[in-house]
Amino acid sequence: MTKDKQPSALSQIIAYAGSSKPLLYLGCVLSGINALISLAPLFCVWFVLRDLIKVFPNFEQASDAYIWALLAVVFSIASLLVYFIALLLTHKSAFRIAANIRTKLLEHISQIPLGYFIGHSSGEMRRTIDSSAASTEDLIAHKLPDFVASLISPIVFIVLAFVFNWLLGLLCLIPILVSVAAMWWMMGRKSAQGGEYFMQRYQQALMDMSAGATEYIRGIPVVKMFQQTTYSFKAFYKTVMDYRDMAYQYTEYCKKPQVFQLVAINSAFAVLVPAGIILAQSAENFSIFLIDFLFYVILSAFITTIMTKVMYATETVMIAQDAVNRINGILAAPIIKDVSLRESEVPENYDISISNLSFSYPGSSNQVLNNVSMKIPASSIVALVGESGGGKTTLASLIPRFWDADSGDIKIGGVSVKEIALKDLMGLVAFVFQNDHLLKMSIEDNLRLARPSASREDILAALKAAQCQDIIDKFDGGINTVIGAEGVYLSGGERQRISLARAILKDAPIVLLDEATAFADPENEALIQKAMSKLCAGKTVLMIAHRLSTVVNVDNIYVLDKGKIAESGSHNELLAHDGIYKNMWSEYQKGISWKIESEGSDVA
Ligand SMILES: Nc1ncnc2c1ncn2[C@@H]1O[C@H](COP(=O)(O)OP(=O)(O)OP(=O)(O)O)[C@@H](O)[C@H]1O
Ligand SMILES: [Mg+2]
């Protein structure tokens, strides 16, 4: 089986550098050069020592030693300078990459269908944009140049090791070889379960635990209500235990290689010193041997630093992979094509015609709407009824293009909704959701979302029309009361009325009304009825109704059953034949009489 080869995570990130790519490459090359230069002073020190020993004890004759010492200083300064320039270049490129990633994500998000945001919290998306862009900043500015340097250093190190005394050099290399082997052992080996790399399973266990904790905390109210604390806690507890087991297994597994590695890189001297003593006895020129030996002792001291750097460099790849996964996750969301405001067509009237509409939610194989056709004549009220999960909310949400249908079309005044710019389309439609979307801001600001230019009088008038006077009077802050602030609690019916006020303020020619399943009390219900009739007066209305009393007088009723239109007609027409609606109606009547009876018995 062939698999499409994806570019590596790092090259996907670098692709965002655009015209700053050469800067990034140059920065990395300079960082590599710096790795070379930074070892040069060590070399110079060897020559200084050699020249000093040669002329011992007449040090004034060691003129070359001064030159080598000076060169050591020059190399040290050059190394700093080159590193500084390298970081300057990589930072420039890193900021460009982060900015390009943010722009690309925001551009994409602005084209994502609105419905997508119902299933994905905007806070989570903001965090993804911020944190993935920020982690690429650090990755490109620091980790990548260090990564290049950490690849170059061991090579230089190996070459240097053989320059003066190959036998001592070889001994110096032993710790490096052991350390590399141990790292390969720790990182590269697959675990027995499913052949996944240990590191992958470890990361997965960490993510599961964090998701488990979020779910547990989110569900606390429901869990307590149903007294399911132990059960729910068990699910979270399991992720914690899985993580513990995984971490323990991994630690257990790493125990041996880690010991080998740490001992190897820290015991370079332990190998070198006895070997030096043995080799010294057979040395032809003892003083030269002594300088060589000193050189290798100093070189060994570098091993720890270099190998630790190499070890952490592998982290770079993981950070890049994580950032790319999150970025691509957002970019994978579908986009909706919008026409420009200039090309946007203006409907002649506001009648809505839906023809042969079929739809499944992105990523789901379940067909929610199947060849649905219906008409909502301008300035009429059409109701949509049907069993829960039948697709009513979905159908209404396709009109303002929360999603685009898979096939079929929706026309407003003869113009396909796809030919109307989204901004214009939003202006044409006011919707009141089943689950109201009130934000944690003042009542006034919540309303103002519908029409930012509205005056205070407009807002008060809309609240009055939506029967919200009692809500405003209840709080000292009046319309400045912040919804959701401490001590401010609105009932379901009250929230629904505020949502209706917002839709009234918008004063759009088309109204989509998704009635809440239940209202708190009869008083609220009567107020909501009044608010709804104010909102619907003179508009083209699609009303999704759960309590059939609301639809008795509407112009036309469509019954949606399992994604298909099963029946349509006026209330009386539908009652005249034995179908779903008639059934629903008698069930509804039974419900009402049961309610009256039980209330009657309460009184008695
Ligand atoms: N965002 C979504 N992603 C995937 N599937 C969804 C989404 N929203 C709804 N569905 C599915 O689409 C189907 C129809 O849902 P919809 O909300 O349109 O029903 P409804 O008729 O409005 O029900 P109710 O009367 O309970 O409000 C359901 O099976 C539901 O699971
Ligand atoms: Mg619904």
Task: Say if residues 566 and 371 touch (Cβ distance below 8 Å).
Answer: no
* CA–CA separation, 493 and 502 (whole Å): 14
Separate counts of helices (H) and strands (E) for the chain: 21, 10
The pLDDT value recorded for residue 419 is 94
Q: Is 361 in the pocket of ligand 1 (CB under 6 A)?
A: yes
pTM for the model stands at 0.68
Q: What is the pLDDT of residues 359-409, one digit of tens each?
A: 999 888 899 999 999 999 999 999 999 999 999 999 999 999 999 999 999
Distance (Å) from CA 341 to ligand 2 centroid: 31
pLDDT > 70? residue 223 = no
What is the SS3 string spanning 542-600? EEECCCHHHHCCCCEEEEEECCEEEEEECHHHHHHCCCHHHHHHHHHHHHHHHHHHHHH
Smallest-distance ligand from the CA of 561? 1
Among the ranges 172-181, 216-225, 341-350, which has the highest mean pLDDT value? 341-350
So what CATH class is 352-597?
alpha beta
pLDDT > 80? residue 462 = yes
> What average pLDDT does this structure show over 414-423?
93
Q: Is 370 in the pocket of ligand 1 (CB under 6 A)?
A: no
Q: Which of 112, 117, 359, 368 to mutate to test the pocket of ligand 1 (most atoms within 8 A of CB)?
A: 368
C-alpha dihedral over 316, 318, 323, 326, to 10 degrees?
A: 180
> What average pLDDT does this structure show over 456-470?
93
The pLDDT value recorded for residue 196 is 64
The pLDDT value recorded for residue 3 is 46
Among the ranges 32-41, 216-225, 305-314, 510-519, which has the highest mean pLDDT value? 32-41
Q: Whose CA is nearest to atom 16 of ligand 1?
A: 391
The pLDDT value recorded for residue 21 is 95
The pLDDT value recorded for residue 517 is 61
The pLDDT value recorded for residue 604 is 41
Distance (Å) from CA 410 to ligand 1 centroid: 19
Banded pLDDT at 294 (limits 50, 70, 90): confident
Return the CATH fold of 9-331. ABC transporter transmembrane region fold (1.20.1560)
Distance (Å) from CA 434 to ligand 2 centroid: 6
> What average pLDDT does this structure show over 21-48?
91
pLDDT > 50? residue 1 = no
Q: Is 435 in the pocket of ligand 1 (CB under 6 A)?
A: no
Q: Is 368 in the pocket of ligand 1 (CB under 6 A)?
A: yes
Q: Is 506 in the pocket of ligand 1 (CB under 6 A)?
A: no
The pLDDT value recorded for residue 27 is 96
Mean pLDDT for the chain overall: 85
Banded pLDDT at 534 (limits 50, 70, 90): confident
Q: What are the domain boundaries of the chain?
A: 9-331, 352-597
Q: Is 119 in the pocket of ligand 1 (CB under 6 A)?
A: yes
At a CB cut-off of 8 Å and minimum separation 6, what does 313 contact? 143, 146, 147, 150, 151
pLDDT > 80? residue 458 = yes
Q: Whose CA is nearest to atom 28 of ligand 1?
A: 389
- Which of 478, 539, 535 has the alpha carbon at shortest distance from 509? 539
Q: Is 397 in the pocket of ligand 1 (CB under 6 A)?
A: no
pLDDT: is 26 or 343 the higher one? Answer: 26
